[in-house]
Amino acid sequence: MNSDLDSEPLLQIEDLRVEFTTAAGTVEAVSGVSFSVAENQTVAVVGESGSGKSVTALAVLRLLDGGRISGGRVLWDGRDLAELDTRGMRRVRGDEIAMIFQDPMSSLDPLYSVGHQVVEAIRLHRRISKRAARERAIELLDQVGIPDPRSRIDAYPHQLSGGQRQRVMIAIALACSPRLLIADEPTTALDVTIEAQVLEVLRTVQREYRTALLLVTHDMGVVAETADWVVVFYAGQVVEQGPTAEVLGDPRHPYSTALLAAVPTPTTDKALPLAAIPGAVPSLHDTPDGCRFHPRCPQAWDECATTTPDLYALGGGRTSRCLLHRAAPHGTVAAVGRESA
Ligand code: SF4
């Protein structure tokens, strides 16, 4: 983990909006989201399914299937990725920013050996011989913890375990030493022991390559183990963000508090049910007026159903979108158009 939270932002998402056109009309899946990722920093984007966290990650690489960026900016190295042409975007993908997904089986081609796929990824962005690329592939497979990589390189995806396939995906993502790795629920399909191993691989490669990591997860346990900074999403908006230790140790937004209450701890009595958050994330076709969390919030009062909370600054870069913090001495962040990490 990198604790240098004052480094220059590498990726800066400003007031991002993403729309999808559906049979029932246009819906906004991401509504004015702002946060940044610094060099060598791990930022976790957390929230339930349907909160807009994965859509935000996909928007960075313009991989929105059926969706479009309808507002805001995605600043990368001085360029707005939302405006970049197809050729420029292709160069950014894989070369500067790489992505790994939840299900490696759908990202790996079952017809080719994993070695072939790592070699292809290397040669797509670098002019090196097949032999040199194969040596580099063996090195990468070794770094991500594939045992006996010199012989496993010729294995096909179905011959590897789920955890090994995810390691191969990390090797492919690292093939061109990206400056930012985006991991969308990379361990959700894995059991707890393998999850811990894959997270350890991510941490190790991040240290070695000095890669920034944007981790999308619904799991506060993963956030606690991995991230320097956490951005909590609810219904297409950021509701809280700040340094991980502070947000997890003292969550200020009622939604963050509820998410944390649903995380098992070593002292959790397994005989008791975890405190699940009542209700469901609202449909994008019908987001509640006022605070979007008010139908589920245990602290809601009448005004929460009619007054839309701004983002209130809590000091030290922390923000919360809750009327309880309206009188915070540090003021309103939304009024100046962006939050900053
Ligand atoms: Fe809960 Fe009201 Fe705060 Fe929304 S504004 S999180 S409903 S207390």
Q: How far is 320 from 252, CA to CA, in rounded Å?
A: 7
Answer whether 184's CB lies under 8 Å from 102's CB: yes
Asked if residue 112 belongs to a domain, the reply is: yes
Q: Which atom of ligand 1 is nearest to the CA of 294?
A: 7
How many angstroms separate the alpha carbon of residue 185 from the centre of ligand 1?
27
Distance 6 CA to ligand 1 centre (A): 30
Side chain identity, residue 152: R
Q: Is 311 in the pocket of ligand 1 (CB under 6 A)?
A: no
CB count in 10 Å sphere of residue 128: 14
DSSP 282: P
Backbone angles phi, psi at 145, to 5 degrees: 85, 25
Assess whether the C-beta atom of 300 lies below 6 angstroms from ligand 1: yes
Report d(CA 194, CA 140) in Å as an integer: 19
| pLDDT computed for residue 190 by the predictor | 77
Residue 282 lies in a domain: yes
Domain boundary among 160, 177, 194: 177
- Any residues with CB less than 8 A from the CB of 333 and at least 6 apart, and which? 310, 311, 312, 313, 319, 339
Please tell me if the CB atom of residue 308 comes closer than 6 angstroms to any atom of ligand 1. Answer: no
Ligand 1 mutation pick, 277, 297, 321, max ligand atoms within 8 A of CB: 297
In a domain, residue 334? The reply is no
pLDDT at 294: 96
SS3 call for 319: strand
Do 118 and 66 form a contact (C-beta atoms < 8 A)? no
Ligand 1 contact via 304 beta carbon (within 6 Å)? yes
Distance 288 CA to ligand 1 centre (A): 12
Q: Is residue 214 part of a domain?
A: no
pLDDT the model gives residue 152: 94
Of the residues 133, 155, 177, the one at which a domain ends: 177
- Residue 257 CA to ligand 1 center (angstroms) comes to 12
260, part of any domain = yes
Question: Residue 136 domain-assigned?
Answer: yes
Report the atom number in ligand 1 closest to the C-alpha of 309.
5
- Go through the chain and tell me how many residues it has: 341
Q: Which atom in ligand 1 lies closest to the alpha carbon of residue 307?
A: 5
Q: For every residue of 12-27, which 3-state class applies, written as one string?
A: EEEEEEEEEEECCEEE
* Residue 184 falls inside a structural domain: no
Q: Greatest CA span in the chain, whole angstroms?
A: 68
Give pLDDT, residue 339.
41
How many other C-beta atoms can be found within 10 angstroms of the C-beta atom of residue 325? Answer: 21
Structure-block tokens of residue 259 = 């998410």
Determine the pLDDT at residue 264. 63
Nearest CA to ligand 1 atom 7: 294
Give the integer Cα–Cα distance in Å for 26 and 46: 25
Q: How many domains does the chain have?
A: 2
81-101 per-residue burial string, b: 16 or more CB within 10 A, e: under 16: bbebeeeebeebbbbbbbbbb
Beta carbon of 288 within 6 Å of any ligand 1 atom: no
Q: What pLDDT sits at residue 119?
A: 95
CA of 340 to the centre of ligand 1 (A): 22
pTM to 2 decimals? 0.89
First to last CA, the chain: 16
Domain boundary among 121, 144, 177: 177
Name residues whose C-beta falls within 8 Å of residue 190's C-beta, 6 or more positions apart in sequence. 162, 163, 166, 198
Is the separation of the CB atoms in 183 and 97 below 8 Å?
no
What is the spatial distance between Cα 61 and Cα 9, in angstroms, rounded to a whole number?
A: 17
Do 291 and 253 meet the contact criterion of CB atoms below 8 Å apart?
no
Cα-to-centroid distance, 171 and ligand 1 (Å): 43
CA of 325 to the centre of ligand 1 (A): 9
Reference 257, options 299, 216, 289; nearest CA is 299
Query: pLDDT truncated to tens, each residue of the chain (341 aa)?
Result: 544 445 679 999 999 999 999 888 899 999 999 999 999 999 999 998 889 999 999 999 999 988 999 999 999 988 999 999 998 998 898 789 999 887 777 789 999 999 999 999 999 888 899 999 999 999 999 999 999 999 999 999 999 988 899 899 999 998 888 999 999 988 877 778 888 888 888 888 888 888 999 999 988 888 998 899 999 999 999 999 999 999 999 999 999 999 988 776 555 554 555 557 888 888 888 899 999 999 999 999 999 999 999 999 998 889 999 999 987 666 667 443 334 44
Q: Does 244 reside within a domain?
A: no
Residue with the two structure tokens 């990722």: 37
| CB 234 near ligand 1, within 6 Å | no
Domain coverage including residue 310: 250-325
pLDDT for the residue numbered 335:
42
Are 114 and 129 spatial neighbours (Cβ–Cβ below 8 Å)?
no
What spacing in Å lies between the alpha carbon of 303 and ligand 1's midpoint? Answer: 9
